[in-house]
């Protein structure tokens, strides 16, 4: 039976023969991110709905929105961190392990800074959440975003350890790519949150 499909190209073959994860890994991550964005879409839906339904202003009278300064700072932090992540990805594509270590540490450290700054907001939000629909929706967006930041930082920690153990290379960088994709996604969500909650 004449066939043209090259065996080594077939994922079932690759996976089975080498015991290595196929390119499905990255697709899986993308799909997971799609589902994560729907989660945030749900929260935004609630925000816009409550805002449209509120009678008497948004935020309602008597409710002071949380300070905006940390959000501005964090926007810068998030962007810088993503930039570091881009560098990390490029580094490993060149098989530059040391460079990867440095960049991923920088990105992770900025992630931690982000959470530290965010904790300032939370001191205010703790009360706001219980007082009004405005506060509840505001808090939820920030809390669930920050949880993702935390997850991202943990992932970077894993990358760091793997890299130190020498388990990351140009040919085995799925974890780095996945972490990076997730991190860009988190940054993207932050930009939307920033625009919606603080700028409008």
Partner 1 sequence: MASISIPLPLRERAKTGLLGWLATVDHKKIGIMYMVMAFSFFLIAGLLGLVIRLQLAAPNMQIVDAHTYNQLFTMHGTVMIFLFTIPMLVGGFGNYLLPLMIGARDVAFPRLNAFSFWITLGAGLVMFGGFLLGARSDASWTAYVPYSNKTYSPTIGMDIWLLGLILLGIGSTLGAVNFLVTLYTMRAPGMTAWRIPMFGWAMATTAVMILLATPVLTAALIMLVADRNFNTQFFSANQAQLWQHMFWFYSHPAVYIMILPAMGIVSEIIPVFARKPLFGLRAVVISTALIGLLGFTTWVHHMFVSGVDPVLERFFMFTTMVIAVPTGVKVFNWLATLWGGSLNLKTPLLMCIGFLATFVVGGLSGVMMASIPIDQYVHNSYWVVAHFHYVLFGGSVFGIFAGLYYWVPKITGRMFDDKLGKLHFLLMLIGFNVTFFPMHHLGLLGMPRRIATYAAGRGWETGNLIATIGAFLLAFSVLIFILNVLKLRNGQPAGDDPWEGNTLEWSTASPPPEYNFREIPVVESERPLFDARWRTSHLP
7 binds partner 1 (CB under 8 A): yes
75-114 footprint of partner 1 as x/- string (CB under 8 A) = ----------------------------------------
Q: Which residue in 180, 114, 181, 106 sits closest to 146, CA to CA?
A: 114
Q: Is 53 in the site for partner 1 (CB under 8 A)?
A: yes
C-beta closer to partner 1: residue 111 or 135: 135
* Binding flag, residue 184, partner 1 (CB under 8 A): no
Residues with Cβ within 8 Å of 131's Cβ and at least 6 positions away in sequence, in order, are 63
Q: What string of DSSP letters covers 139-194?
A: HHHHHHHHHHHHHHHHHHHHHHHHHHTT---SSS-HHHHHHHHHHHHHHHHHHHHI
Q: Which is nearer to partner 1, 88 or 178 (CB)?
A: 178
Q: How many residues bind partner 1 (CB under 8 A)?
A: 43
* Residue among 99, 105, 132, 177 that touches partner 1 (CB under 8 A): 132
Nearer to partner 1, 36 or 198 (CB): 36
Cα radius of gyration (the chain) = 21
Considering only residues 22, 99, 105, 177, which one is a binding residue for partner 1 as defined by CB under 8 A? Answer: 22
Residue closer to partner 1 by CB (options 53, 199) is: 53
User: In the structure encoding, which two tokens stand for residue 47, read together?
Assistant: 């925000």
CA 98-103-104 angle, 5° bins? 100
SS3 38: helix
Q: Give the residue with the Cβ less far from partner 1, 41 or 164.
A: 41
Identify which of residues 31 and 191 has a Cβ nearer to partner 1 in the complex: 31
Select from 65-73, 83-91, 134-142, 172-180 the region that touches partner 1 (CB under 8 A).
Answer: 134-142
18 vs 189: CA distance, rounded Å = 37
- The C-alpha atoms of residue 196 and residue 194 are separated, in whole angstroms, by 6
Q: Which of 97, 99, 105, 136 binds partner 1 (CB under 8 A)?
A: 136
| Length of the chain as a residue count | 200
Under DSSP, the state recorded for 65 is P
Residue 139 within binding range of partner 1, rule CB under 8 A: yes
């Amino acid at each position: 039976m004449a066939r043209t499909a090259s065996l080594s190209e077939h994922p079932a073959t690759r996976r089975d023969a080498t015991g290595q994860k196929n390119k499905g890994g990255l697709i899986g991550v993308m799909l997971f991110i799609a589902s994560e964005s729907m989660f945030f879409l749900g929260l935004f839906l609630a925000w816009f709905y409550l805002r449209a339904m509120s009678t008497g202003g948004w935020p309602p009278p008597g409710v002071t929105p949380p300070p905006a300064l940390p959000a501005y700072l964090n926007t810068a932090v998030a962007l810088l961190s993503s930039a570091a992540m881009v560098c990390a990805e490029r580094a490993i594509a060149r098989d530059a392990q040391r460079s990867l270590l440095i960049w991923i540490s920088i990105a992770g450290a900025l992630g931690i800074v982000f959470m530290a700054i965010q904790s300032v907001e939370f001191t205010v939000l703790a009360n706001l959440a219980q007082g009004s629909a405005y506060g509840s929706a505001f808090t939820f967006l920030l809390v669930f975003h920050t949880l993702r930041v935390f997850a991202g930082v943990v992932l970077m920690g894993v990358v760091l350890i793997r890299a130190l153990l020498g388990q990351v290379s140009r040919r085995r960088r799925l974890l780095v790519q996945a972490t990076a994709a997730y991190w860009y996604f988190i940054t993207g969500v932050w930009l939307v949150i920033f625009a919606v909650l603080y700028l409008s």
